[in-house]
Structure 1
Amino acid sequence: MSIINPALERPELIAYFLGANNYSWLHFRNGEKKLLSKPISYLEGRLPGFIRVHKTALVNPDYVKSLQRPLRQKMAGKIQLQSGETFPVSRRRWNQVVQSLGDHLAPIGNEEGLRASVHLDEAHPMGESGSLSYQATSLFLVTNDEQNAFLARQIIGKNWPEYRVETLAKSIHLPELLDELPESELPALVFLDARSDALERLHTLQRLKNNQRLCRVPVVLLALPTDKSVIEGYERQANSVVTMKEGDMSFSQVIDRICQFWLKVAELPAHC
């Protein structure tokens, strides 16, 4: 018997859906997930109260914790769920998401407050034409270890203050997120921590390297110290594979040393 109708009758138990071609993963609030034989567009029609934040993600607004405005013009925003998971909000859906979440988010709690948070920082450097003008100033780190993410932001903020650090717990949406950026705003470097969720990270790595626009972005794979991990990383065209044990206390120092090479020694590709 199909589980689709019983599941949709209790939307309060649902956290979000992730589309996968003609199928969708249903993620419940209790952590369970089920594969449904329906595309995400079908589920969007059945659950008009849910919010399509990206072409592959449909979320329950009651399960949203925060909404982060785009850090630069033409960048995607981010939405964080109560579980801590973060998804990109595509540029073309941003205003609709802001409007839909107006009554759900605290502490802002109203559309006007949310819209006020969308304005770009006045300190961004501007070209003569008034458009944003700068080279790659961001680094992306994918890790589900919040402590390591915090340590990485600290060390990069201290030693590489010209770079902004974006952290994600999941990499599944990273190719779509980066593909929405103009060439000039692609990151200087991407870290994929594959010591956990290795299959997801390797799949993301392969998708990045198979993308004609994104393949030039250097990707460093953090892997467990096994021959298999190293081989799989290079087979999927990682620019570097760095091995570390899970729980390694020198995480921030390793990140800094990698930055020393890629941001100071290596010649990075220019983004037009």
Structure 2
Amino acid sequence: MIQEAIQYPALIKYLKGFSNYSWVHYCDGRKVLLAKSLVFFEKQLSGFLRVHKTALVNPHYIADFQAPPGHKMAGSVSLRDGETLPVSRRRWSLIIDPLLVTMLPLSFPANGTPGSANPSFSEPACIEKKQPSLASRRMWVVMADELKGSLVQQLMGEKWSQWGLKLFDTGNGLQKVLSGTGEADMPAVIVLDGGQPGSMLTLQTLKNSSRFRFIPTILLSSAGNYDQAQQGYASGANSVIVYPTDLARFIQVLEKLFRYWLSVASAPQGGNGRVAPV
């Protein structure tokens, strides 16, 4: 249990400590009591914010915050699921800067116009992490589930921060942005969530395009959906990956998938280091 918490921090919303024990609150609703102090987890989970002597929070699950309203009064952070945790006034000045960095990524709706700092997954939107990287080091992901999308962001930030990431909630959103993208800014890899309606049509559209068909495209398929896996390969997917419903195993599968495509495989490239058009 302790090893799982340390190995897969993206699954943790926050930890509450008392004495030499900690309650670990997972994003799937689980609540596990572990015989380790909050100080122990604070040392192990880099990037988590110690908002209170009894609370350690994963900033990726914070949706909003409230500054201390007055002297000797506590502030608060609100999580995506509506939970609220106190922020002690003494810790406020220590967490506000890293909190703002986490909560204010650049975001663009499908038409490419700058929008809200916290995009809604109800509309086609993408989140791009600006990194000093090679032109071809970009991965675009369609992920309809907001929680899984957040896990993708955290995994990329922890393991492959040198890669730029764009996250879309629909295949149509990806296609709209892709159609207006110049050759130098093309993604090196595209990942499609098979659970998103229209993902197969997006795959077919990409693979039937003389401009986009050489971009490696991976289809994520839910367990037991054998017809979709066969259809994915028939439509030109470079890989079809079956992902489990268990979030810990989902992270494991993603990590292996990304390690291969981002660290081992070579994407088709032209003479200028771009994805080669036909």
Whole-angstrom CA distance in 1 between matches of 2:252 and 2:161: 16
Question: Paired residue for 1:207?
Answer: 205
Question: How many Å apart are 1:124 and its aligned residue?
Answer: 5.6
Partner of 2:21: none
Aligned partners of 1:202, 1:154: CA distance in 2, in Å? 26
Q: Which residue of 2 aligns with 1:241?
A: 240
Identify which of 86, 91, 106 aligns with 2:123: 86
Partner of 1:31: none
The alpha-carbon deviation at position 76 of structure 1 amounts to: 3.0
Partner of 1:157: 157
Q: 1:252 to 1:77 in 2, by over 3 A?
A: farther
Q: Hey, what's the Cα distance between the residues in 1 that align with 2:105 and 2:132?
A: 21
The answer to whether the aligner puts 1:252 opposite 2:251 as a matched pair is yes
**Distance in 1 between the 2:249 and 2:107 partners?**
32
Q: Kindly state the Cα deviation for residue 245 of structure 1 after the two structures are TM-superposed.
A: 3.6
Contact in 2 for aligned 1:76/1:181 (Cα 8 Å): no
Shift of 1:176: 2.5
How far apart are residue 258 of structure 1 and its match? 0.9
Please show how residues 159-198 of structure 1 align to structure 2 within 5 Å: 159-197=159-197
Alignment partner of 1:262 is 2:225: no
Compared CA separation, residues 266 and 194, structure 1 to 2 (3 A): same
Relative distance call for 1:238 and 1:157 in structure 2 (3 A) is: same
Q: How much does 1:173 deviate?
A: 2.8
1:76 to 112, 115, 137: 112
2:139 aligned partner: 139
For these two proteins, the number of residue pairs brought into alignment is 162
Residues 1:195 and 1:88: Cα distance change in structure 2 (over 3 Å): closer
1:193 and 1:222 in contact (8 A); partners too: yes
Amino acid paired to 1:223: S
Please provide the CA RMSD for this pair. 3.1
Could you tell me how far apart the structure 2 residues matched to 1:256 and 1:78 are? 30
In structure 1, runs of 5+ residues without a counterpart are 1-65, 90-120, 126-133
CA distance in 2, matches of 1:227, 1:69: 35
Matching residue's letter, 2:209? N
Partner residue, 1:10 = none
1:207 positional shift = 0.6
Q: Displacement of 1:246 after TM fit?
A: 4.1
**For 1:104-138, what per-residue CA distance to the aligned partner results, in whole angstroms no more than 9, with x for missing partners?**
xxxxxxxxxxxxxxxxx8x868xxxxxxxx42222
> What is the rounded CA distance, in whole Å, between the counterparts of 2:226 and 2:136 in structure 1?
33
Amino acid at match of 1:218: P
How far did 1:248 drift? Answer: 4.3
CA distance in 1, matches of 2:105, 2:115: 5
- SS of the residue 2:124 aligns to: strand
**Shift in Å at residue 188 of structure 1?**
1.6
CA-to-aligned-CA distance 1:123-164 (integer Å, 9 cap, x gap): 868xxxxxxxx4222211111111111111111111111112
Tell me which residue corresponds to 1:41.
Answer: none
Question: 2-side partners of 1:240 and 1:86: how far apart?
Answer: 27
**SS of the counterpart of 1:136?**
coil
Q: Secondary structure at the match of 2:172?
A: coil
1:67 deviates by: 11
Query: What is the CA distance between 1:175 and its match in structure 2?
Result: 1.9
Distance 1:216 1:149, change over 3 A: same
Q: Tell me the SS of whatever aligns to 2:141.
A: strand
Give % identity: 24
Contact 2:207/2:235 (CA < 8 Å) preserved in 1?
A: yes
Distance of 1:159 and 1:85 partners within structure 2:
28
